[in-house]
Amino acid sequence: MLTSLMIPRKRFKAKKLLWALLIPLGILLTNLSANSPEIIEKYYSGVFYRLIGQGLSILTGILPFSLAEVLVLAAAAFLLVTLISIIVRIFRHSRDKKYHILNSISNIIIFVSAVYFGFLILWGLNYHRQPFSNLSGLEVKPATVDELADTTDYMIKRANELRTRVLENGEGVMKLESSRKEVLQRAGEGYDLISDTYPELKGKFGRPKGVLLSKVMSYTEIWGVYFPFTGEANVNMEIPESYLPCTACHEMAHQRGFAREDEANYISYLACNAHPDADFQYSGTLMALDNLLDAVRRSSIDKYNELYAKLSEGIKRDFEAISSFSRKYDTIIGDISNDINDIYLKSNNQQDGVRSYGRMVDLLIAEYRLKNLSN
């Protein structure tokens, strides 16, 4: 009887070991991809992901709710139950205690291995595609403080003009032209209009979806997230209205296979500016201006003060509303979430970590240079 029990267990362990091998296999695949951006662009991002990403997105887009949110909660419940099971086994006096503990731990390893490898295959290799600057023809190179200031001054003028065309609430803060839910339904219009200029952004995808537990999400300081396993662009519906359109377009950029945060920000700016509605145009421009002003402040505080003084009072109120929202949810949970996000970005070859969001400025300056050359 002992022998008959041991054989199945050995086979069982062997099968679990094979699942665990997905981790080193994924690491190997990542390293190979990092050294072959042209191949990844042509065959993975341009063919495989375009098919699988759109297929998943269209399929889950039928659902009126975020399937991603359900799966994340289910995964959290699975891990919690497994950990509780391990703790219970530790304190139980059972002949098979050691086996059951190891079995539970191996289940977690299998789960992590499958998620990690699935993430790479379904979306993660997009981190190693060619930069968007190469695809768009923008020449990204080091900029002087004067170039940065000139680009920021241009963006301030555009933002001031657009601010006069959007609605305000009773507190003088920017208000959307429609409900938050309708913003998600309108978000794809900008992409439709720029897809001829940027064919890599073409495609049929499900609309962005609002997260039901958005208030909880706010405490993590996450405003949006793309979920590769369902192809859904998920948006925190609690964030300030001025940032809702550009956040939705940001996640839609991820949905189209652009994984780098800096590039997703710039693509969001492009899609928002091409949008027929003023609230989208203003949202994208405000986000770009926010990035530029932050870069100026780090370069020259005097130049920052000079440029900030040029902002309209409406824009200043909008920035203050954004800052007030961020302060409201500034907790240790958000700090932990930022640390995790930093590790995640660095693990995917974005060595600046969360600071990589600032590199959007290089693309904005490159675009400004190109406009000046053509004029």
Q: What integer pLDDT is reported at residue 270 of this predicted model?
A: 98
User: DSSP string spanning 60-81?
Assistant: HTTSSS-HHHHHHHHHHHHHHH
Contact between 292 and 319 (Cβ < 8 Å)? no
Compute φ and ψ for 144, nearest 5 degrees.
-80, 165
Q: What integer pLDDT is reported at residue 3 of this predicted model?
A: 41
* Residue in the block written with tokens 């703790």: 87
Cα–Cα distance for residue pair 224/69, rounded to 1 Å:
12
Cα–Cα distance for residue pair 41/130, rounded to 1 Å:
6
Task: Return the domain boundaries, the chain.
Answer: 2-128, 132-374
* Residue in the block written with tokens 């377009």: 249
Is the pTM for the entire model greater than 0.95? no
Q: Could you tell me the two tokens for 250?
A: 């940001």
**What string of pLDDT tens digits covers the 375 residues of the chain?**
334 444 455 555 566 667 778 989 999 999 999 999 999 999 999 999 999 999 999 999 999 999 999 999 999 998 898 888 878 877 776 667 777 777 778 888 888 899 999 999 999 999 999 999 999 989 888 888 999 999 999 999 999 999 999 999 999 999 999 999 999 999 999 999 999 999 999 999 999 999 999 999 999 899 999 999 999 999 999 999 999 999 999 999 999 999 999 999 999 999 999 999 999 999 999 999 999 999 999 999 999 999 999 999 999 999 999 999 999 988 665 455 455 555 555 555 555 443 333 679 999 999 999 888 765
- Reference 314, options 105, 199, 168; nearest CA is 168
